[in-house]
Amino acid sequence: MDRQFPRRVVLGNKKHYDGESIAPQKLQRGKFYPLVSATSAKIANASVSSKDAQLCLNGTLDPIKVKGRILVCLRGGNGRVEKSHEAALAGAAGMILANDKSSGNEIVSDAHFIPATHVTYKDGLAIFSYLNKTRNPIARITDPKTRFGVKPAPVMAAFSSVGPNTINPEILKPDITAPGVDVIAAYTGAVGPSGEDYDKRRVLFNLESGTSMSCPHVAGVVGLLRTLHPSWSPAAIKSAIMTTARVKSNSMKPITESTGLNATPFGYGAGHIRPNRAADPGLVYDMQLEDYVNFLCAQGYSEANMKVFLGASYKCPLSHFSTYNLNYPSITIPDLNGTATVTRRVTNVGGPATYTSSIRSPIGISITVQPKTLKFEKAGEEKTFKVTLRANGKDASNNDYKFGLLKWSDQHHYVRSPIVVKAT
């Protein structure tokens, strides 16, 4: 999401670091406060370790060493907002929450109990270095703000689940990515914004993150598409969402992980959802009951299993159905040994048009499409094509996944499908 809630840390050496927070409390504008690390503020108790104090765990801080100061806590061990609660109980004027190494550059806007900001691992190292090298360290935390048009966006969240699909590796997962970090959402009055029992604050709205935020975005898009196209099947709607997704940020560069490295389809699936494009996808990869049933047959389900699913007897076809040929809007070959050919079927949901295929092949893999063009005379018309993948030498066979793209275009619609291959 291209929105942030920045809150800057300014050190006594005039260096500054941008963090994030939605804590509404403010420090005296322009005033510098004594700065102390949580380790240095450890309570004099033999049972409390420096490591526990560094994390600002419950009962580890000495109020005499903390009162009126800005406290620096390390992320981990307990909740982020819980750390600010402990800092508040100890009398801190403010708090800087620094990421540990495992959290990297991902920072979160939380509703802290005191003026606070959350900084990256790299910036945290700089702040700790200043603390350790300065006799009387000082700092200030600026007032909270809202910033729009942040670049790059979107960025994959560190907590986002990733592929490959461990149950059916022939099916790419995830399918799609959607806004799921720092989403402003209606909030219950039963608990405080931190969700902790000790939090007696009550708010109408809160920032929430996770699949519980991204899923409603996708569900809303599905509802809109169903209203716009009531005859579309669930598979057609999924296809429209996946084939129109984008894989570049608002900086026109590849979507990245929170670490700054380029993300892959194992992170974002087909890409980041674009509702308006999904409303007019041009072509869809549709599926009927038979497609799903044949897929289950290929998974080895027995006739008894199939009867439970279908409520009637069903005999799997004598000709073997390959799971590669499930009419999915992506192509995944987790065990390419030489050559593999997959079949796909697209349905025209636009007007008369001629689509031409283009391929971005993964390194070490050659890909051909037959036929290379598909001509549609009317809406609802179906066409079938085959994609052949061939491993080329040692560049392909390093036992690692590689990524490519299949695109069909009539110069108005761009129907994209990620290709994921691992040669064996």
Rama region for 27: left / alpha / beta (φ>0; ψ in -120 to 50; rest): beta
d(CA 114, CA 126): 22
- Beta strand 401-409 with 414-423 is antiparallel
315 and 372 share one domain: yes
234 and 317 share one domain: no
Q: What is the CATH number of the domain that holds 49?
A: 3.50.30.30
d(CA 205, CA 187): 5
28 and 11 share one domain: yes
288 and 406 share one domain: yes
d(CA 422, CA 232): 33
For the chain (length 424 residues), average pLDDT per consecutive 10?
93 96 93 96 89 94 96 94 95 96 87 96 96 96 93 90 92 95 91 88 91 94 98 98 97 91 95 98 96 89 87 82 92 93 97 97 94 97 97 74 96 97 90
Structural domains counted in the chain: 3
Would you state the pLDDT for residue 397?
Answer: 62
Cα→Cα distances 228→222, 224, 283, 287, 351, Å: 10, 6, 16, 19, 16
Q: Indicate the residue among 255, 278, 301 that finishes a domain.
A: 278
Q: Indicate the residue among 241, 260, 278 that finishes a domain.
A: 278
| Residue 279: both structure tokens together | 């409303």
Task: Check: CB of residue 154 under 8 Å from CB of residue 315.
Answer: no
Range(s) of the domain holding residue 330? 283-423
62 and 100 share one domain: yes
Would you state the pLDDT for residue 218?
Answer: 97
d(CA 297, CA 293): 6
296 and 251 share one domain: no
Would you state the pLDDT for residue 159?
Answer: 85
Asked if residue 178 is part of any domain, the answer here is: no
Asked if residue 288 is part of any domain, the answer here is: yes
Task: Check: CB of residue 96 under 8 Å from CB of residue 115.
Answer: no
306 and 232 share one domain: no
Would you state the pLDDT for residue 321?
Answer: 80
Asked if residue 380 is part of any domain, the answer here is: yes
Asked if residue 393 is part of any domain, the answer here is: yes
Q: Indicate the residue among 278, 310, 331 that finishes a domain.
A: 278
d(CA 170, CA 168): 5
Spatial CB neighbours of 339, under 8 Å, sequence gap ≥ 6:
388, 389, 390, 391
Distance of CA 36 to the CA centre of its chain: 35
- What secondary structure does DSSP assign to 313-324, as a single string? -----SSPPPGG
Would you state the pLDDT for residue 408?
Answer: 98
Asked if residue 174 is part of any domain, the answer here is: no
Would you state the pLDDT for residue 395?
Answer: 65
Would you state the pLDDT for residue 303?
Answer: 84
Residue 19 CB burial class (10 angstroms; 0-12, 13-18, ≥19)? buried
234 and 304 share one domain: no
Asked if residue 297 is part of any domain, the answer here is: yes
CB neighbourhood size of 249 (10 A): 18
148-182 as b/e: b if 16+ CB within 10 A? eeeebbbbbbbebeebbeeebbbbbbbbbbbbbbb
7 and 139 share one domain: yes
| Residue 293: both structure tokens together | 């049933």
7 and 142 share one domain: yes
